[in-house]
């Protein structure tokens, strides 16, 4: 193979590797604004999914038992469920919704976030399966004195 052909093939391969892929994410703040103003976890889940009935299995939620800094609580979420979306809620701040992810088909649910809670409470994670069911996990934690304002 001639050197010029090899270099042009290498450049095309590099462009194919770094070319952006199409991302189809739903803007839940625009399409479902009432989710972000709901004050209870159940109300927020109902506004997002139409029901608050969940199956408590298939979702792993890790967070500290005691958070020394309410302004940056580490939370890890994992699931093997074929998911359409993943949502995080909490019951310590005035509004319950924290974040909602759109999961692309075949995507892996393995997220790490840091969230704010101004007091002790419960974190809830909902994974919406492609089968139409809602799967959940919950974790109660204590926020040390001096929690963060949301």
In order along its 150 residues, the chain shows pLDDT tens digits of 555 554 455 444 544 444 444 456 677 778 888 999 999 999 999 999 999 999 999 999 999 999 988 889 999 999 999 999 999 999 999 999 999 999 999 999 999 999 999 999 999 999 999 999 999 999 999 998 655 555
Beta bridge partners, 55, equal 135
> What is the arrangement of strands in the sheet containing 134-143, beginning at the earlier edge strand?
66-67, 134-143, 121-129, 83-90, 97-102
Residue range(s) defining the domain that contains residue 32: 23-143
In a domain, 10, yes or no: no
In a domain, 17, yes or no: no
In a domain, 126, yes or no: yes
In a domain, 48, yes or no: yes
In a domain, 27, yes or no: yes
**Distance between first and last Cα of the chain:** 62
Query: Domain total for the chain?
Result: 1
H-helix or E-strand spanning residue 106: none
- Here the CATH number for the domain that contains residue 64 is 2.60.40.2470
| Backbone dihedral angles phi then psi of residue 110, each to the nearest 5 degrees | -155, 85
In a domain, 148, yes or no: no
In a domain, 150, yes or no: no
């Amino acid at each position: 193979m001639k050197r010029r052909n090899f270099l042009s093939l290498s450049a095309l391969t590099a462009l194919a590797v770094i070319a952006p892929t199409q991302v189809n994410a739903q803007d839940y703040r625009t399409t479902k604004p009432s989710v972000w103003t709901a004050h209870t976890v159940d109300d927020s889940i109902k506004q997002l999914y139409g029901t608050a009935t969940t199956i408590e299995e298939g979702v792993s939620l890790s967070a500290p038992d005691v958070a020394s800094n309410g302004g940056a609580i580490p939370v890890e979420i994992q699931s093997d469920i074929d998911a359409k979306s993943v949502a995080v809620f909490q019951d310590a701040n005035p509004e319950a919704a924290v974040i909602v992810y759109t999961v692309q088909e075949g995507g892996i649910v393995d997220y790490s976030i840091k969230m704010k809670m101004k007091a002790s409470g419960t974190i809830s994670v909902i994974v919406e399966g492609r089968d139409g069911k809602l799967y959940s996990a919950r974790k109660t934690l204590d926020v040390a004195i001096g929690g963060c304002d949301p």
